[in-house]
A = this chain, B = another copy of it.
């Protein structure tokens, strides 16, 4: 369908384009603008936006990437811009202001109503990644004491502009959150029922400064569709909807993937992040780890006599180091993920460690025996085979232990467990394995050293 629209647009068959637009999802229409932008077809781009029906334009706009939104804002007249802004939900409105460069923000603010301007300034004060920065003020609320019939009347009157109508909030005169009632409960009740008798008087809620990661977890734990946000005095100030919680879940996962590979997380998608930013995000950890590897290097220097006498020893360094690194990253990944999903908590520390020790023993029995036999066959040197396999065993146990201990320790110290991932553990394990390897060799093979 997308392809068809672009063709019709090029052929200037605008009424056919309009017909197709009516059948398409807003998210797909937003994608279409990305395509036109990457082809740098500004004319078509602007024309297509003007062909959108008034009632969907704002929604399509809210699905766009910031770069595309910027282009649109720049292309619109003040009146057109005002129409879009009026129809935006407050959370998308705030996102827009947060993402745009200063001169675009200025134009957006000039075209906002005084009321919206005030609200946005208020929202911008909440910390990034807090409930306050995620929430929207388009929710349905009733005063305590209303009947179901009266509640439906309010929904019918005001519901059209609300982000969700399915979860409604019951408040006191001072807007304190007293309870939550769903449209489902109201539909299944008699029209003259007082909503107070239907509502959940102990509703799950969050505070404006609560962290978005915890909020996303609550959505998935309690299967919620919308979460009320209250201020320090218990007054409802906004709601967060499930679609935004899903985005948070994906963003937090992406952040963990990036941290675990030794990178500073990016806000933008890969293709839109400039090369210089990507490089900056990667260099710090690379540098730290490269310099840390000097420790392992210094050890090797110290054991020079050993490998000059028995050069075969050098052959097994990559194998021992790589296996140690892989074992450590397996363990740390399991633990970091378990901590992130609240499946593991610091109090499970000994249970997890004992588990890793046993897994390490099983893995090392398999790996070391295969390796022992293969060294024996290839080099007919049982002594070296024993030194390598023995080192491998200790390295595996050490790597799996570190992979378990370090993330849990980070959690206890209120650091992010994700930084205790593969790169760091590999570096520590390397030094340990070289130490074990050459000390074992110096002692056990002492008669073969020059």
Q: Contact: B271 with A344, CB < 8 Å? A: yes
Structural contact, A297 and B319, CB atoms closer than 8 A: yes
A256 — which chain B residues lie within 8 A by C-beta? 257
Asked if A220 is at the interface of the complex by the 8 Å CB criterion, the answer is: yes
Residue of B nearest to A268 (CB): B343
Partner of A351, one of B156, B271, B307, B336: B271
- A55 at interface by CB-CB < 8 Å: no
B-side contacts of A283, CB under 8 Å: 362-363, 366-367
A residues 59-79 in Cβ contact with B at 8 Å: none
Interface set, chain A 236-258, CB cutoff 8 A to B: 242-243, 245-247, 249-250, 253-254, 256-258
- A14 contacts chain B at the CB level, 8 A cutoff: no
| A323-B286 contact given A184-B165, A257-B333, A261-B333, CB 8 Å threshold | yes
B-contacting residues, A5-60, CB 8 Å: 23, 25, 27
A256 to chain B, nearest CB (A): 8
**Segment from A98-106, A127-135, A308-316 that makes contact with B:** A308-316
Q: How many residues of A contact B (CB 8 A)?
A: 108
A278-B359, A329-B261 as given contacts; A367 in contact with B225, CB under 8 Å: no
The residues in A between 278 and 303 inclusive whose CB is less than 8 angstroms from any CB of B are: 278-279, 282-283, 285-287, 289-291, 293-294, 296-298, 300-301
Closest to A266 in B: B334
Chain A interfacial positions (CB closer than 8 Å to B): 23, 25, 27, 152, 155-156, 159-160, 165-166, 183-184, 187-188, 202, 204, 219-223, 225, 242-243, 245-247, 249-250, 253-254, 256-258, 260-263, 269-271, 275-276, 278-279, 282-283, 285-287, 289-291, 293-294, 296-298, 300-301, 304, 307-308, 311-312, 314-319, 321-323, 325-327, 329-330, 332-338, 341, 343-344, 348, 351-352, 355, 358-359, 362-363, 366-367, 370-371, 374, 422-423, 426-427, 430, 434
